Amino acid sequence: MKPLKRIRAYWVWVVFVFVALVLISFNAGKRRSWTPVEQVVIEITAPLQKFIRTSAKTVEGAWLKYFGFVDLREENTRLRGEIDNLRMQNDLYRELVSTHARLRELLQFKESIRSPVVAAQVIGRDPTGWFESILIDKGTQAGLRLNMPVVDARGVIGRLVAVSPNYAKVLLIIDQNSAVDCLVQRSREKGVLKGLPSQMCRLHYVSRAADVVVGDKIVTSGMDRIFPKGLPVGEVMEVADTPWEFFKDVTVKPSADFSKLEEVLVLLKEDPLSSPSRKTK
């Protein structure tokens, strides 16, 4: 009986490894949206993630407030109560002002873009820590489709790589699997922007003769047909010119602050990678 049990244990392992390997083989190097079954899983888990994020923010706020009050212990109860009230009002006011400023920036940015946009809230980040993606609270029901560009007031954030009816996954430009066709704004030199492990990016395929200096602004070229031309992407931080290399090593600091993403804008434009005109060409 025992050997039979052992064989069964190995079969279980073999079957799951086989399934996982098949999945990797079919999906490595490809970007595909969630399947209907996966969409159901996301539709169930994403509200929970939203709830957890909101709760965590509330707890964080309460915790910070607690530390703020520790120094006031020796003051009398009336003053403490008053300070408590004022501080809460102040926090609320600051939060409103900061939200207002963010939304005003977004609105100004929205007005500068010709295509219609949908604003979405960030409800989660990549759970692995190895990849760079976010989950947003808008999906196909709000008009979102695969490969739509995502931006914020500072510049390009990423593009949609999976969508369900109410949620979508955004691959950030700082992910190593991301690639954005870009231009150096001043000299119009071209390159492909890819993510680096340290929340920075590298502009690939910039020839050694190219005119690129530290401080140059990088914008989208529009050549990849995903991002509209001229969106700010980042600023050149470092340019290395190694004699035996074909290309310059250009490090770019993204315009957007990816550690503080809260609201983003999705540009509603047709998925260029699935349009019939592209297929016939």
Partner 1 sequence: MAWGLSLIYILLKGSVVNEIAPVFFDIDLVVVITAFLLMRSGTVGAAVFAFGQGMLIDLLSAGFLGLFALLYVLSYLCLELGARFFDLRSVQGQFILVGLVVYFRELVLVGLLDAFAFEVVPSASLFFWFGASAFFTGLIAPLIFSILSYVQIRTTGEIKGAV
Chain residues that interact with partner 1, rule: CB under 8 A: 8-9, 12-13, 16-17, 19-24, 26-29, 34, 38, 41-42, 45, 48-49, 52-53, 56, 123-133, 135, 161, 169, 171-172, 175-177, 196-197, 259
Residue with tokens 């929970």: 48
| Distance separating alpha carbons of residues 137 and 103, to the nearest angstrom | 17
We find the least distance from the C-beta atom of residue 48 to partner 1, in angstroms, to be 6
Measured from the CB atom, the residue of 17 and 86 that comes closer to partner 1 is: 17
Measured from the CB atom, the residue of 106 and 123 that comes closer to partner 1 is: 123
| Distance separating alpha carbons of residues 8 and 63, to the nearest angstrom | 50
We find the least distance from the C-beta atom of residue 23 to partner 1, in angstroms, to be 3
We find the least distance from the C-beta atom of residue 176 to partner 1, in angstroms, to be 6
Measured from the CB atom, the residue of 25 and 280 that comes closer to partner 1 is: 25
Structure tokens belonging to residue 46 = 């994403």
We find the least distance from the C-beta atom of residue 54 to partner 1, in angstroms, to be 9
We find the least distance from the C-beta atom of residue 22 to partner 1, in angstroms, to be 7
Q: How far is CA 45 from the centre of its chain?
A: 19
Measured from the CB atom, the residue of 110 and 125 that comes closer to partner 1 is: 125
Measured from the CB atom, the residue of 45 and 115 that comes closer to partner 1 is: 45
Q: Is 252 exposed, middle or buried (0-12, 13-18, 19+ CB in 10 A)?
A: buried
Long-range contact set of residues 39-46: C-beta below 8 Å, sequence gap at least 24: 39/164, 39/165, 42/162, 42/164, 42/167, 43/164, 43/165, 43/166, 43/167, 46/123, 46/124, 46/135, 46/137, 46/164, 46/166, 46/167
Structure tokens belonging to residue 238 = 């470092």
